[in-house]
Structure 1
C-alpha cells in the first residue's frame, strides 16, 4: 500500500510504480532508517505527542525488525516503494494502530535527508580507515626505500635524482589531504534535518535538539527548507571520493609503467595480476588499470549530482531521488578500489638495481654539476648551465654517463673542471645533499614517514 494512497481514486500504473521505486538502492539504509525512527518515536513519547507506552512498543518492535532483517528472517520486499515505506508498513502489520503513530510530525522528506546523512557518515568513516591503512603501507615502504635512488621525472623525461621512498611519500601526502577533505565534509553535515517536515516544519511540539543528540549530531539544521533540500554533502563526498580516485589513478598509472619491461622498476605479486588468453608470457597489471579506469566512473557520479541539483527550486523535488545511486556508487567504487590496492603495494617487489641504472643513464645529476661550478668555481649559473649542457651532449656522443666521462673530456669543455666533480655528481650524494625541508635526502624521507605514521597513530589526518 502506498503511504500517499488517500488522495488518489485510481491505482498507479505498474510502470509508474517500477519507475518511481527506489527500494533497489535505498534498502541499504534500513539500519539508518530504523535508527532515525527509534529516535523520532522516543522523542514523540517524551514530548507527550504520543503516549510513552506506544513509544516504547514502537521502539522495541523497530529493534526486532532490524534484528530480523540482519539475520535474514525478514526479507526486504523488492516491490515496496522505498525502504521507509517498507519499515513503516512492517511495523504497522506487527503493532497495528501504534505503528501508525510513528510518522507523526515527520515527512519522508526529512526522513530520507536524515537516512542518507547517517549512511554516508558511516561510509566516510570506513573509507577514511581504508585510506589510512594505505598510507601506513606507503610510509613503511618509503622507510624501507628511503635511500633507493631512482630518477624523478618532469614531462615523463628523467629530470633529477630522488628516492623511491620520497616518491611514495608524495602519494601519502595526497591521501592525507583526502582524509582531511572527508573530515571537513563530515563537520559540515553534522546537523540533523529530522523535524524539518516536508519543508515547513510542523505544529507538533517536537524537541529537535533531543533527536539530534540521540542520533549523534551536534545540532539540528537551522532552516526547514534547507534541511530537506540540502544535498551539498552528497556532492562534497562525491568530490572527495573523486579527488581520492584521481590520486589512486595517478599512482596506478605509475605502477603500470613501472612494472612494464621498458621500466622494470617493480614487480607486482602474481596474486594481483592476470594473464593473457593467447600470449603465455604476459603478466598484466589489470587491477591497477581497472582502478585507473574506475576513476572516470566516479567523476561521472560527481557530475551527475551537480547537474541534478543545479536547476532545482526549493524544497524537495523527485529529481533528488537520484542522489543516492550516484553518491553510493562513488563511495562503493572507492571502497572497492582500496581493498586490493593496499595489499598489492604491500607485496610488490622493488627492483632497486634497475631504478639506479635508469637514474645513472639519464644525466639527472646534471643540475648538481652546474651547481658545483657555481658554488666551487664561481661561474655564473647561466654559464654553468650551458657548460654542463655541453658536457651532457659530449656524453651522449661518446656513449658515456657523467660518472664515466674521463676528466680530460670534461676539461675539453671547460678548464674549471677537476676531480672534485666526480664526488658532486655521485647519485647518492646528489640525493643525500637535498636535505632542505621536503627534499629527498634519506633522513628526510624516514623522518616524514615516521611523522605521518605518528599522526595516524594519534588519530589525526
Structure 2
C-alpha cells in the first residue's frame, strides 16, 4: 500500500486576499456593531463563572481588572485589522493573556464558544433595534389616533379599484390604517419575545460539562430566559427571520396608504392637502407643488421591505447548524433595513400630523361621482318594500342620468328618480324631495352606517377608544422591556464593580 502524505504547506495565515475580502470586513463589523456587547458578555460570563465556583474570587477579580483596563486603554473605533489574530474575539483574548499570562488570561473562555457568544451578540443588537423601532411605530400610531379623533366628521371619497366608491370619514380611513399598524406592532413584539431568549451557555453545540448557570447569564444580560435547547441556540435563526419577517410586513402594509396619499394629493383628485413645509417646487414650472416627501416615504419603505426580504432569502436553504450565512456580515446587512425603517416612520409620523383634507374638493368629487347612491337603494328596500336588485337598478339609472348631465344628485336627482321609480314599479314613490336630498347626502350616508367597524359617530368613537387602550398596553409592554434591559445593565455593572473592588 502506498502512503499518501499531504503536500508540504508553507503558507501562513491569513492569506492576504482572504484577509482583505473576509477577515478585515468581519473585524470591522464586529468593531462597529458589537464591541460594547462583547464587553457585556465577558463581564456576565466572568460573574457567572465566579458565582458557580468555576473561577476563584481572586482569579475573577484579576480578570475583571484586566477587562476594565482593556476597555479603558483601547478605543475600538481606532482599531484596524492586521491579521495578527483571527477576529475581534481573539484580539480581546490576546490582550487578556498579555496582561494576565496565558493561564489566567485563557480562563475567561471556560465553558463558552464563539458560537453562543455570536448569537448572543446578534440578539442583543436586534433587541435594541426592535425596541427603538417599536417606540417609533407606537408614536406613529399615536399620531394617527390623534388625527383620527380630530377628523371624525371630515368626509373623504373612498376608492375601490381606483374609482370613487362611497363617502366615509377620514377618521374611518385612518382607523383602518391604525388597526394594521397595531397588528404589525404586535408582530414586532412577538419577534422581540423570540430574540429575548439567551443562547449563552450553549457553548459550541451541547452546553458544557462545567456547572454553569444559564439562567444567571440570561438575567445578567437582560434576557427573559435562556433558550432551552442548546443545539437550537446556535442553529435556529427564527429570531432573525421572525424579526425581518415582521419588518417586511410592516413596510409592505405601510406602502399601501403611502400610495393612497400620493393619489389623493394629485391635482385631479386633490382631496389631500399637503402643507407648504412638506412641498417642494419645480425648478422650471412656477405652478408646481410637489409633495415629494410621499415619494421618499415610498422609496424608503420599498428599500426597507427589500432589505428585510433579502435577509430572509439569505437564510433560505441553509443547513440547520451554526454557520456564517446567518452571522456577522448578514447581521450587519440587516441593520440597514432598520436604518431606513426609522427614517420612514419618523417622516410618516410628521406627515400624518401635518396633512389635512381639502373639504371643497371632496364635496365636488362626491357631487360628480354620485357615490352616495348606494344609500338610495338601501332606503328603497327599507321604506318602499323593494328587493335590493330592483332598488339597485332604479338607483343606477338615477346615477347615470345625473353623471351624464354633470348634475348634483342632491339638488337635481329627485325628478329623474320619481320618473324611473314610477316606470319600474307602476306607482308613485312615498319619498318627498326633502327626504330624497337627505338620503343621498354624504353626511347621512356616513351617519346611518353607525355599526361596529363603520364610520358612524358611535362606532368610530368606540373604535378610537379601543385603539387608545391597545396603544397604552403596547406602550406599557415596551416600557417594561426597556426597563428590564436597563435594570440588567445596572445589575451587571454592580456585580462587576464588586469583582473590581475585590481586586483592589
Q: Same fold (TM over 0.5)?
A: yes
TM-score with structure 1 length normalisation? 0.90
Does 1:16 pair with 2:18? Answer: yes
Is 1:366 the counterpart of 2:373? The answer is yes
Q: Distance in 2 between matches of 1:342 and 1:146?
A: 19
Paired residue for 1:141, among 141, 147, 164? Answer: 147
Q: What corresponds to 1:294 in structure 2?
A: 300
Shift of 1:107: 1.3
Q: What pairs with 1:445-460 in structure 2 (closer than 5 Å)?
A: 445-458=460-473, 459=475
1:41 pairs with one of 25, 42, 46: 46
Asked whether the equivalents of residues 29 and 83 of structure 1 are also in contact (C-alpha less than 8 Å), the reply is no
> What is the CA-CA distance between 1:124 and the residue it aligns to?
1.0
Cα 1:82–1:364 change in 2 (3 A) is farther
Is 1:428 equivalent to 2:443 in the alignment? yes
Change (3 A) 1:313 1:457: closer
1:422-455: per-residue Cα shift (whole Å, max 9, x none)?
Answer: 2211211110111100001133323322332233
Which of 432, 440, 443 matches 1:418? Answer: 432
The equivalent of 1:338 in structure 2 is 345
Structure-2 residue corresponding to 1:4: none
Does residue 168 (structure 1) correspond to residue 170 (structure 2)? The answer is no
Alpha-carbon deviations, 1:12-71, whole Å to 9, x = none? 1222012223234342222222212211111111122222233234445545655778xx
Deviation string 1:222-242 (CA, Å, 9 cap, x unpaired) is 222211112111111111111
**CA–CA separation in structure 2 for the residues paired with 1:262 and 1:191:** 52
3-state secondary structure, aligned to 1:102: helix
Q: Which runs of 5+ in 1 are unaligned?
A: 1-6
Whole-angstrom CA distance in 1 between matches of 2:209 and 2:452: 61
CA distance in 2, matches of 1:279, 1:86: 60
Name the structure 1 match of 2:497. none
Say if 1:275 and 1:284, in contact at 8 Å, map to a contact too.
Answer: yes
| Larger-Rg structure | 2
Q: How does 1:18-417 map to 2 (within 5 A)?
A: 18-21=20-23, 22-26=26-30, 27-59=32-64, 62=67, 75-79=77-81, 82-92=87-97, 97=102, 98-321=104-327, 322-415=329-422, 416=429, 417=431
Report the Cα distance in structure 2 between the residues aligned to 1:149 and 1:65, rounded to whole angstroms.
64
CA distance in 1, matches of 2:265, 2:337: 28
> Structure 1 stretch 425-434 or stretch 17-26: which is displaced more?
17-26
Shift of the alpha carbon at 1:82? 4.9
Mapped contact 1:242–1:330 kept (Cα < 8 A): no
Deviation at 1:337, TM superposition (A): 1.3
Report SS of the residue matched to 2:410: coil
Cα pair distance change 1:85/1:346, threshold 3 Å: farther
Distance 2:62 2:279 in 1: 54
Distance in 2 (alpha carbons) for counterparts of 1:68 and 1:154: 64
| Contact in 1 for aligned 2:154/2:169 (Cα 8 Å) | yes
Q: What is the match of residue 458 of structure 2?
A: 443
Higher alpha-carbon deviation: 208-217 or 285-294: 285-294
The DSSP-based 3-state class of the residue aligned with 1:436 is: coil
Cα shift at 1:305 = 2.8
**What secondary structure, in the 3-state scheme, does the structure 2 residue paired with 1:160 have?**
strand
- 2-side partners of 1:367 and 1:171: how far apart? 24
Quote the Cα distance in structure 1 between the aligned partners of 2:282 and 2:79. 43
Using the TM superposition, give the Cα deviation of residue 285 of structure 1 relative to its aligned residue in structure 2, in angstroms. 2.7
CA gap 1:437/1:406 in 2 versus in 1, 3 angstroms: closer
In structure 1, the partner of 2:491 is none
- Change in Cα spacing, 1:107 to 1:256, as seen in structure 2 (3 Å) is same
Q: 1:382 to 1:456 in 2, by over 3 A?
A: same
- Kindly provide the CA deviation profile for residues 345-403 of structure 1, in whole angstroms up to 9, marking residues without a partner as x: 21223322222322232211111000011000001100000111011111122221321
